[in-house]
Copies of this chain bind each other. A is one copy, B any other.
């Protein structure tokens, strides 16, 4: 475990194949690490290796690995494939134990590439070196500034320059991905959605470090609250499932596996030349391991956000609190489609809500059946007092609050007021307001700042809540099996 730790928390990094030429992989990686060092995010030593330079971008540069002043904790290699095994051998002699090989030209090209990769693994093993890659995008850890994302930083559209690959802020969601291209797209998505990242690993050909070990590591990583995995096929499926089963005891794992249909599987086989395997077999294995499976990138992060912010639900009985009847119906539709139970509030809970109505706290035309419809005549107070009752109700395991902000009685203080009621209660609450205008966006952001995941549609809120009950169910199952303590 300690060995993997240095991939994310190195005291020193060497870029092997550092280049003066902007656009070159070895230049971009050095540039980003140097920037992170200058900003004080990366606090370790930074070295570069290039036979023809003594200094690049202000970083002291050594002609060869053997001339480095000390063994770097982490080496990032961006040199032609045929030189990589030799470089790793030199690093091993120096005492480096963690290497990221960005370079392609190994098993993914077949033929001699396969042999070269075998040679690479052998050399690494000889020295006890752990390898990420080859043929990968590598590692991103916003907390420590380890960042090997070499793709263009800025690009133009119509003469205007934009950040092309924005990095997410530090946070509690970790992602490991078989596809580098999809991985950077996910980072871009997270950055735009203001989701925080703990660790990101694109492991490419997984010649050494693979999914199972990464999952084990992330399970033990204090900063990671949710583990996300993108795969197209599994190398060592049994190990993966076993690692997942262990990890799920402490934190949720969400898997997005492409190739869920026959056509998708055919496409995956044609592209990765790997046996993608039957999707239903994966599905059963995921379920057995307590993995939450999602079907697309939006769902991946909707679910991750909920799991990183809210406690799992103790059951599937969900209440929906809304000011829009139609939106309430949509939430209920999606909850039922996802196997949730629409909490039956009849009895004490309904009685307490009726009392609010008698007292004039919620509108007389409100419906106190689930979904509870406070109608367009609602105000903040009606939401607060209703949510209080739902959170105290013994027949409710989680609450979706749909507050369409347009109605006159709702104010921008609603998030604070609701948060005050829900904070510290061991029952998940997720939020929804429909709209993409500036108020709707700011309203949802305010909820998230306060720790409540917020969604732009009832269906996405219901999807998120379903993941919270799914993880709750897994935990209950494991509890009953004596695998965890409450």
Task: Please report A residues at the B interface, Cβ cutoff 8 Å.
Answer: 23, 109, 151-152, 155-158, 160, 162-166, 178-182, 184-186, 188-193, 230, 232, 258-264, 267-268, 270-272, 295-298, 323-330, 332-337, 342, 365, 367, 369-371, 373, 376, 404-408, 411-412, 415, 433-443, 446, 456-460
- Taking the nearest CB of chain B, how far is it from the CB of A376, in angstroms? 6
The answer to whether A189 and B412 touch across the interface, beta carbons within 8 angstroms, is: no
Output the nearest chain B residue to A377 by Cβ-Cβ distance.
B104
The answer to whether B179 and A325 have CB atoms under 8 Å apart is yes
Pairwise interchain contact A185-B435, C-beta atoms closer than 8 A: yes
Q: How far is the CB of A212 from chain B (nearest CB, A)?
A: 20
Q: Which residues of B are found within 8 Å of A367, using beta-carbon distances?
A: 270-271
On chain B, the residues within 8 Å of A442 by CB distance are 157, 160, 162
Given known pairs A327-B181, A328-B271, the reply for A165 and B412 (CB within 8 Å) is: no
A251 to B180, CA, bound (A): 42
A296 near B330: Cβ-Cβ < 8 Å = yes
Partner of A408, one of B152, B373, B456, B459: B152
Q: Is the CB of B179 within 8 A of A326?
A: yes
Known contacts A155-B412, A180-B376, A404-B181: does B258 contact A326 (CB below 8 Å)?
A: yes
Indicate if the CB atoms of B184 and A440 lie closer than 8 Å.
Answer: no
Q: Quick check: B158 and A258 within 8 Å, CB to CB?
A: no
**Are the C-beta atoms of B371 and A327 separated by less than 8 Å?**
no
Q: Specify which of B232, B326, B337 is in contact with A232 (CB 8 Å cutoff).
A: B326
Q: In this complex, what residue of B is CB-closest to A179?
A: B326
Asked if A434 and B263 sit within 8 Å, CB to CB, the answer is no
By a CB distance below 8 angstroms, the chain B residues around A438 are 162-163, 166, 192
- Whole-angstrom distance from the CB of A200 to the nearest CB of chain B? 14
A406–B179 Cα distance when bound, in Å, is 13
User: Given contacts A189-B436, A271-B328, could you give 5 more A-B pairs where the C-beta distance is less than 8 Å?
Assistant: A157-B443, A185-B404, A192-B435, A261-B332, A296-B458
Q: Given that A267-B328, A272-B325, A376-B181 are contacting pairs, would A261 and B336 also be in contact in the complex, using a CB cutoff of 8 Å? A: yes
Question: Min CB distance, A271 to chain B, in Å?
Answer: 4
Contact A324 B271 (CB under 8 A): no
Taking CB as reference atom, which chain B residue is nearest A195? B436
Residues of chain B within 8 A of A230, CB atoms compared: 326
Which of A259, A261, A271, A439 has most chain B Cβ within 10 Å? Answer: A439
B-chain residues with CB within 8 Å of residue A232 when the two chains form the complex: 325-326, 329
Nearest CB in chain B to that of A370: its residue: B267
Contact A181 B326 (CB under 8 A): yes
Chain B residue numbers with a CB within 8 Å of A404 are 181-182, 184-185
Residue of B whose beta carbon sits closest to that of A184 = B406
A sample of 15 inter-chain contacts (CB < 8 A) reads: A151-B408, A152-B408, A181-B324, A181-B326, A182-B434, A258-B329, A258-B330, A260-B333, A261-B337, A262-B336, A264-B330, A264-B333, A267-B328, A267-B370, A270-B367
Please give, as numbers and ranges, the residues of chain B lying within 8 Å of A330 by CB-CB distance: 258, 264, 296-297
Known: A158-B412, A457-B298. A329 touches B264 (CB 8 A): yes
Chain B residue contacts of A163, Cβ below 8 A: 437-439
On chain B, the residues within 8 Å of A336 by CB distance are 261-264
B109 touches A365 (CB 8 A): yes
Chain B min CB distance to A113 (Å): 11
Shortest Cβ distance from A463 into chain B, in angstroms? 10
Measured between beta carbons, the chain B residues less than 8 angstroms from A264 are 329-330, 332-333, 336
Nearest B-chain residue to A297, judged by Cβ = B457
Contacts of A411 in B (CB 8 A): 155-156
